């Protein structure tokens, strides 16, 4: 694309502060890529302004909201959550990313430690992985027994029904990426000294166990995609689109004013 092919609106966008930053941050000027980046940030900002309104409604009306972010390793769950929370009031949301259960937690009812993390009135809770670890990650990596898996699958739908009946808005997002895109992201993470810490032993085996993850993922969708708590699959090979679509779905689902 050349300057002569740009319309007046596109020229104005590229001449804005955002546009100039997008143009000048790379050694090679790419008009198309820079324009896409500016348009993405403007769309993201619009949705983030709506998230502020949604949160204000939740606070004012003592609403409780849970947003589960699931997906394969490097699918962009954390990045999406950061865009959700970038401008909303930090006193009224939490991000939950639970560590490996303690010995005491292993002896408790599986859902117990998640119950402790559910929102208080006026609060939004984002789960960066949730109880659905037991539906996919744990059985694939032999972190639970077959019996524990079966018990979870027999209880999860009723558990979520109770959560919803208690007055909690529950949204389940699954960020879906291709095997090729996951491999590319792993490669980029390993090359970046600021991101290498993100690679875990589980991540290292994710490509090798791709088919096993797929099998359990499909079983999860088949058995837990219920009327009261449906899954929404977010195509996540392109991070910008995934973030916009995830936020849009939440805005469309929660009946805020």
- The pLDDT mean for the chain works out to 92
Dump pLDDT digits (tens) for 41-72: 999 999 999 999 999 999 999 999 999 999 99
Give the model confidence (pLDDT) of 148-206 as tens digits: 999 999 999 999 999 999 999 999 999 999 999 999 999 999 999 999 998 999 999 99
What pTM does this model have? 0.89
Q: For residues 34-38, give the mean pLDDT.
A: 83
Query: CA 252, CA 234: separation in Å to the nearest integer?
Result: 14
* C-alpha separations of 192 from 108, 185, 187, 240 in Å: 39, 11, 9, 20
**Domain map of the chain by residue range?**
62-253
Q: What percent of the chain has pLDDT over 70?
A: 88
- Spelled out in words, what is the top-level CATH class assigned to the domain 62-253? alpha beta
Residue pair 60/123 in contact by the 8 Å Cβ criterion: no
How high is the pLDDT of residue 116?
A: 96
Between CA 206 and CA 230 the distance in angstroms is 26
């Amino acid at each position: 694309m050349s300057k002569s092919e740009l319309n007046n609106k596109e020229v104005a966008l590229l001449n804005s502060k955002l546009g100039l930053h997008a143009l000048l941050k790379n050694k090679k000027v790419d008009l198309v890529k820079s324009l896409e980046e500016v348009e993405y940030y403007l769309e993201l900002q619009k949705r983030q302004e709506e998230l502020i309104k949604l949160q204000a409604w939740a606070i004012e009306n003592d609403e409780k909201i849970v947003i589960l972010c699931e997906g394969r390793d490097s699918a962009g769950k954390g990045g999406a959550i950061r865009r959700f929370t970038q401008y909303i009031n930090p006193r009224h949301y939490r991000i939950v990313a639970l560590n490996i259960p303690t010995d005491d937690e292993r002896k408790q009812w599986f859902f117990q430690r998640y119950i402790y993390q559910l929102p208080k009135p006026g609060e939004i809770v984002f789960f960066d992985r949730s109880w659905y670890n037991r539906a996919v990650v744990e059985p694939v990596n032999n972190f639970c027994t077959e019996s524990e898996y079966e018990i979870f699958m027999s209880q999860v739908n009723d558990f979520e029904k109770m959560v919803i009946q208690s007055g909690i808005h529950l949204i389940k997002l699954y960020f879906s990426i291709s095997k090729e895109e996951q491999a590319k992201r792993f490669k980029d993470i390993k090359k970046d000294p600021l991101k290498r810490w993100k690679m875990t032993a589980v991540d290292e085996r994710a490509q090798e166990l791709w088919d096993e993850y797929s099998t359990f993922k499909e079983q999860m969708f088949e058995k837990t995609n219920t009327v009261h708590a449906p899954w929404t699959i977010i195509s996540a090979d392109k991070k910008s689109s995934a973030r916009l679509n995830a936020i849009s779905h939440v805005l469309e689902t929660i009946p805020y004013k």
